[in-house]
Amino acid sequence: MKLKIGNIPVKDVVLGSQDSFENGVLTINKQAAIDYLMELDDHITSLDIVIAHPGDDTRIVPVIETIEPRCRVDGRTLFPGVTDEIVPAGDGELKALKGICVTVVGGTWGSFGDGVIDMGGEGAKHTYWSKLINVCLVGETDEEFERYEQQKMNHALRWAGHRFAEYLGKIAKGIAAEEFEEYEFEPVADRAKKNNGLPNVALVMQPQSQMEALGYNDLWYGWDMNKYLPTFVSPTEVLDGAMISGSFMPASSKWSTYEMQNFPTIKELFAEDGKSLNFVGVIMSMLNVALDQKERAAVMVRNMALNLGVDYAIVTEEGYGNPDADYVRCQVILEDAGIPVVGISNECTGRDGFSQPLVTLDSKLNALVSSGNVSELSDLPACATVIGCLEAMNRDGMSGSWGYDENLGKSARDDGSIIMEDNNWFCGDHISGFSVKTMIEF
């Protein structure tokens, strides 16, 4: 499979009377976009589009999702099984608007998996999104069944976000890309390490699938990953929209859809493909909660790796806590099968830093990359502008925020300042590989 991504850098995004892309400036006809998105989903009761720039004194909360605006040159849908019918992903040509993201924001209501983005000040260092122009899609829905639930599917707003990303991508469909990324994934059986003597390396991805009820987990071609078993996939499928993010998992440990479209660890493995290693693909696993499900997944990952002739692997999880059991088990079973592993994840060492970093440990884990600590406290001043609703942090059970604490008070204070755990930065630990954080001993 060969995936070509034509990158179109975006200098600015403005709202105007007509959709256009000229001289690097994306202009969005706001009302037309809103009408289009509301027409496709009766459950959306109101929508707004707000632009936030890097450096703005702006706080965005509750953030539900981020997506890179793109379009397929052949007209195929951007997210098969989600925004349209199921068709193959993984080869062909995409155009991607670089330097911007669609940021889906709850206008009033947040949920457990939703997070915070600060565009400026000290808070901006906590997320990758702060470096992008955030085209915020802020909405309300009539999804009354989950209005006061801590876990929300946020179906209407998430789907609107994916449609909006494609809508924006199509505005630039006729624009010539400035540069191309090409990812060529040769059929595994057709290439052999005997040709170049390099070791075979697979990436084992463990996306979020913990919710037993359907509608909250990551989707693979629209399929809920709670009802899924480990599968061998092409890394280009992941980069080409075969998978979208879910609405569950503390925000800082999530992989958003943008991260799946640009999964940095996949890109770094491609950069080494044919040079120091043969990148033989992705074993896409999951993170179900029952022990037999965990063991079954680990066994299947192991056997797939053995049968593919994998010599080494990188294992990475979308989550922490219960998913650490899968993360550790999968590394141990691969090491035991003679496949040495590097793991990439975050840690939970507590506010004082003294707690066990993963819920389960094994001395066979001897090569780990740490992308952050969910328990660090952030205490930040008010921002001049809030996109969304700050009170959601106090009221809606967002991970890493609270409405009451006898020592710390509430997370969103009346003066607009906030105190929260790292847990609540949207994708803040960027386990996907964007993270420039590590963990050290103090």
Partner 1 sequence: MKKVICYVNQFFGGIGGEDKADQEPYIVEGVVGPTMAINAALKDAEVTHTVVCGDNFMGSNTEEALSRILGFLEGKEMDLFIAGPAFQAGRYGVACGNVCKAVKEKFGVPVLTSMNGENPGADMFKKDVIIFKGGTGAVKMRQDVKVLTNFANRLLAGEPNRGCEAEGYFERGCRHELFLEDIRENTAAYRGVQMLKKKMAGEPYQTELIIPEKDLVPIAAPVELKDAVVALVTTSGCVPVENPDRIQSASATRWGRYSIKDMDRLEAGVFKTIHAGYDPAAANADPNVLVPLDAVRAYEKEGKFKRLHDYFYTTVGTGTTEAEATRMAEEMIPYLREDGVNAIILGST
Residues 433, 265: contact at Cβ < 8 Å? Answer: yes
Return the sign of the alpha-carbon dihedral for residues 240, 428, 372, 396.
negative
Residue partners of 242: CB distance under 8 A and separation at least 6: 80, 89, 90, 220, 221, 233
The answer to whether the beta carbons of residues 352 and 418 sit under 8 Å apart is no
Under rule CB under 8 A, residue 361 binds partner 1: yes
Would you call 293 exposed, middle or buried from its count of C-beta atoms within 10 A (0-12, 13-18, 19+)? middle
**166 vs 347, beta carbon nearer partner 1:** 347
Q: Is 228 in the site for partner 1 (CB under 8 A)?
A: no
For the CB of residue 180, give the shortest distance to partner 1 in the complex, in Å: 19
Q: How many residues line the site for partner 1 (CB under 8 A)? A: 80
* Least distance (Å) between residue 368 CB and partner 1: 4
Which of 190, 292, 352, 415 binds partner 1 (CB under 8 A)? It is: 352
**Residue 196 binds to partner 1 (criterion: CB under 8 A):** no
The SS3 call for residue 332 is helix
In single-letter form, the type of residue at position 176 comes to: A
Closer residue to partner 1, CB minimum distance, 35 or 184: 184
Cβ pair 246, 217 in contact under 8 A: yes
Across 68-158, the runs of DSSP E, i.e. the strands, are 70-72, 92-98, 100-106, 115-118, 133-141
Q: Whose Cβ is closer to partner 1: residue 138's or residue 225's?
A: 225
**Which of 25, 192, 213, 384 is close enough to bind partner 1 by CB under 8 A?**
213
Residue 333 CB, shortest distance to partner 1, in Å, is: 16
Told to check if 362 binds partner 1 by CB under 8 A, we report yes
Quick note: the x/- pattern for partner 1 over 145-174, rule CB under 8 A, is -----xx-----------------------
CB 107, min distance to partner 1, A: 22
Q: Interface with partner 1 by CB under 8 A: which range of 36-44, 231-239, 348-356, 380-388?
A: 348-356
CB of 26 to partner 1, least distance (A): 25
Question: Which strand (E) or helix (H) includes residue 386?
Answer: strand 385-388
**Window 85-124: contact mask with partner 1 (x via CB under 8 A):** ---------------------------x------------
According to DSSP, residue 248 is labeled: -
Residues 18/171, Cβ–Cβ less than 8 Å: no
Selected binder of partner 1 within 35, 147, 366, 379 (CB under 8 A): 366
How far is Cα 100 from Cα 103, in angstroms, rounded to an integer?
A: 9
Provide the β-strand partners of residue 378. 420
Tell which positions 279-338 bind partner 1, by CB under 8 A. 289, 311-312, 314, 316, 320-322
Tell me which residues in 376-405 interact with partner 1 (CB under 8 A).
376, 397, 399-400, 402, 404-405
- Alpha-carbon 176 to chain mean position: 27
Query: Closest CB to partner 1 among 83 and 401?
Result: 401
The residues, any chain, with a CB within 8 Å of residue 210's CB and separated by 6 or more, are 217, 226, 248, 249, 287, 288, 289, 319, 322, 323
Looking at the Cβ atoms of 154 and 371, the one nearer to partner 1 is 371
Question: How many Cα neighbours within 13 Å face the side chain of 20?
Answer: 7
Closer residue to partner 1, CB minimum distance, 74 or 441: 441
Phi/psi of residue 256, each to 5°?
-75, 170
Q: Does 344 bind partner 1 (CB under 8 A)?
A: yes
Q: Which of 285, 374, 289 is nearest to 323 (CA)?
A: 289
Residue selected from 348, 390, 393, 427 as contacting partner 1 according to rule CB under 8 A: 348
Name the one range near partner 1 by CB under 8 A: 14-22, 73-81, 165-173, 421-429: 421-429
- Asked whether position 363 contacts partner 1 by CB under 8 A, the answer is yes
Three-state DSSP at 8 gives strand
Binding region for partner 1 (CB under 8 A) out of 132-140, 180-188, 385-393, 429-437: 429-437
Please pick, from the candidates 35, 42, 57, 212, the single residue that binds partner 1 as defined by CB under 8 A.
212
Residue 229 in the binding site for partner 1 (CB under 8 A): no
Q: Which of 54, 222, 340, 416 binds partner 1 (CB under 8 A)?
A: 340
